[in-house]
Structure 1
Amino acid sequence: MTAPARTTTQRVADTLHRLEHDVDAWVATASPQGEPCMVPLSFLWDGATLLFSTAPGNPTARNLAVNGRARVGVGPTRDVVLIECAVESLPAAGMAPDVVDAFAAKTGFRPGPKYVYLRMTPLWVQAWREVNELAERELPQPLA
């Protein structure tokens, strides 16, 4: 039996909890030729943006350098958070030490100086568990 649909207020609270406590997400990008790329990456949520890190030469970083947009999926398929993001690429060498420390503490990974950080700002956020939440899946922005 399907649980009753959550209110928007509850879905926002559940989404914020997932962003604060989950460690990994699926990041989807596309090349300039339209070839899709989707990879799992660890992230830090700062209350307004998602921060990821990866090697600058991999397809995700290259795709984002060209088009600056990504779609991020957090959670299992029956409790999904889907986020469309604008992306800014930042060199690891220029990151503030407190941000690097927070990222490492959350993800268990400290990127080297040749890595890039990808700061992703949500443009829209959707969250749903079952079909009864699909009609109201778009969440108000900003989330906090």
Structure 2
Amino acid sequence: MIARYGKPPLAGQAYRRRPGAYAILWRDGRLLLTHQQRPVPEFQLPGGGIDAPEHALAALHREVAEETGWIIGQPRYLTAYRRFCFMPDYDIYAEKRCQIWLARPIRRLSDPTEPGHSAHWMTPRQALAALQDPGSRAVLRAFLAGRQPPGSSRTT
């Protein structure tokens, strides 16, 4: 069973499954997060939707580059979780299925190309305080504590 975070689904509301790939980007004791301005200003783990027939790893590389300007290496699957939410930028209710990967930021190629995004290096404490999504916080907290992330079905 995939762990669920956030609010429960609304009774009677249809939700569209939206798979996504997100990264904990760790380098020299710091984490690279993205800040999105719209539709709601918030810090997030870099990543986003997996567009069919795209593979999760291809989506991860693409989304990280778009949102941070960095290329990544050595991605390793950690876990997955789901959350139910309204996605105002797509005008849909979604059951987001978030795959979380650990990767190393290798090189900055450019500023983020995704409009309204900026990349920010943070200490672990800053990152935990900044992340809005409770699933991202839980997975990051487990990673930082050296524990198996919640809902993990593979060894790390």
User: Which of the pair is proportionally richer in strand?
Assistant: 2
User: Which of the pair is proportionally richer in helix?
Assistant: 1
TM-score over 0.5 for the alignment?
A: no
Which of 1 and 2 has greater Rg?
Answer: 1
